[in-house]
Amino acid sequence: MPASKIVAVLLGFPIVSTLFSLLLLNKGAFSWTGLDFFTAFWLLITFWYLAQIVILAKVLKSSGWSWSDIGYSFNRRKTAYFVSGYLVFAFALLGFVEFALANAGSDPEKVKALSNLANLTPKSLPQRIVFIFMGLAAGLCEELVYRGFAISSMKSRGINQWLASFIAAFPFVFQHGLKSLDQFWWFFIWALVFGAIFIIAKRLYINIVIHWLVILSAVLAILQTLR
């Protein structure tokens, strides 16, 4: 893999993500959409994650690589089953959350306390639905980019895979923008954990599933506001 492409992906993606995250400082940025800020923001981020996957696919193809070269060997049919499994689980989880909220109710003061840059818990049903789809794209994209591509491409340049995992942890942190500044160690340690899993398993499926579960835990976080 050409070094220029490695640098372009591992610097370019997190830089753009960080720029998008600056929108968190202007909660009126999406008022023209008629949607609440976080619903619109997460829709934008979902499309950005999908765009990163498309760009990565072009980078791999132009270098003579395939998805299997970075640890993802599912064909389209298996990928469809994989994604469907996530959606079934995620919406079952959403059903549980909505049932709990409907029967117990939530404390408005506790909900308000969740509103900060470091805690982006989806607080309404529309937000939670969009968040589920964002989580789907995020889990796939971040593992493909910061584990599969990052580690495999740096390894192809003669860099030790454990060192590559450590290096890739930094752009992974900044992939999360402003939020990562408050929770640097949270994202950095998870990056090292995911890197170790990938190096040992040599496949991304376990990484993606665990990543999805970590993201979906934010949907459950709203339960702490129950009366």
Domain ranges of the chain: 3-225
Q: Per-residue confidence at 123, pLDDT binned at 50, 70, 90?
A: confident
pLDDT number for residue 109: 60
> How high is the mean pLDDT of the chain?
90
Pick 152 or 100 by higher pLDDT: 152
Question: 3-7, 8-12, 166-170, 181-185: which has the minimum mean pLDDT?
Answer: 181-185
Mean pLDDT of 21-46: 90
Distances in Å between the Cα of 185 and the Cα atoms of 94, 191, 192 are 28, 10, 10
Residue type, 98: E
Phi, psi of 119 (to 5 degrees): -130, 95
In this structure, the number of other CB atoms found within 10 A of the CB of residue 145 comes to 25
Question: What is the token pair recorded at 142?
Answer: 């971040």
Q: Which pLDDT tens digit goes with each residue over 175-227?
A: 998 777 778 999 999 999 999 999 999 999 999 999 999 999 988 887 776 65
Residue type, 99: F
Mean pLDDT of 143-147: 98
Q: Which pLDDT tens digit goes with each residue over 149-184?
A: 999 999 999 999 999 999 999 999 999 987 777 789
Q: Of 20, 188, 39, 18, nearest to 120 (Cα)?
A: 39
End-to-end CA distance of the chain: 54
pLDDT number for residue 2: 94
Q: Per-residue confidence at 110, pLDDT binned at 50, 70, 90?
A: low
pLDDT number for residue 179: 76
